[in-house]
Structure formats: C-alpha cells, structure tokens
Amino acid sequence: MLLAGPGGAGGGGLTVLLPLLLIPVLYLVMIRPQQKRQKQWQSMLGSIKPGDRVTTAGGIRGIILSMKDDSIIIRVAPDNLKLEVAKNAIASVTTQDGSSAS
C-alpha cells in the first residue's frame, strides 16, 4: 500500500524555507522598533539638565536639581523632598518650556 503519492513530497521545500523567510519579518516587526525606542531613550537621557521635570519608572515626578555621572537629585513636591534617583530610572522628561520629550 502506497501512502504518499508522487506529488506528496513537493510541499517539504516550502516548510524548510518558511523559517528563513520569517527572520527578516521578525526583525522589521519586533527588533527594529525596540532598537529605535532604545536609541530615543538614550538621547533623552543625554539631553536632560537641571530644571527639567522628570517622571521615573516608578511614577515619581520631580524637578532635577543636580546631576552626577549615573544618578540625579530630584525635588519632589509638595514637601520639597530631595531624592537621588538612578538615571536609568527616568521614564520621561518634560522641559521647562512645556514640551514633552517622551
């Protein structure tokens, strides 16, 4: 008894090529946009300065008072509490003129 006909093995080539064709699609859909967001975030961190209003990843909002190499000191309202926060924890920046950087 013959299970596979003469044309039954023809679909195997497409099955082998399909993962190779999906790699560029995955790059364009998933990896490239993430790299673009990471680049924008890095440039945002590079452009922050004292006086900018920031929001941390934890949701704390404050105004930058001073900066160190890898951390910043922010003033948090209403008690003018000073906090030292890692630069990597900054989620978004709003400059003094009211424009949003993120």
Cite the DSSP H helix spans in 1-98: 12-26, 32-46
- Residues 47-80: tens digit of each pLDDT: 999 999 999 999 999 999 999 989 999 999 999 9
Position 14 scores a pLDDT of: 81
DSSP-derived pairing of the beta strands 71-76 and 81-86 = antiparallel
The pTM of the full predicted model, rounded to 2 decimals, is 0.65
For residue 59, give every residue at least 6 positions away whose Cβ sits within 8 Å of its Cβ, in sequence order, or none: none
User: 10 with 16: CB under 8 angstroms?
Assistant: no
Domain-by-domain residue ranges, the chain? 15-47, 49-94
3-state secondary structure of 13: helix
- What is the CATH code for 49-94? 2.30.30.30
Q: Say how many C-beta atoms besides its own lie within 10 A of residue 47's C-beta.
A: 11
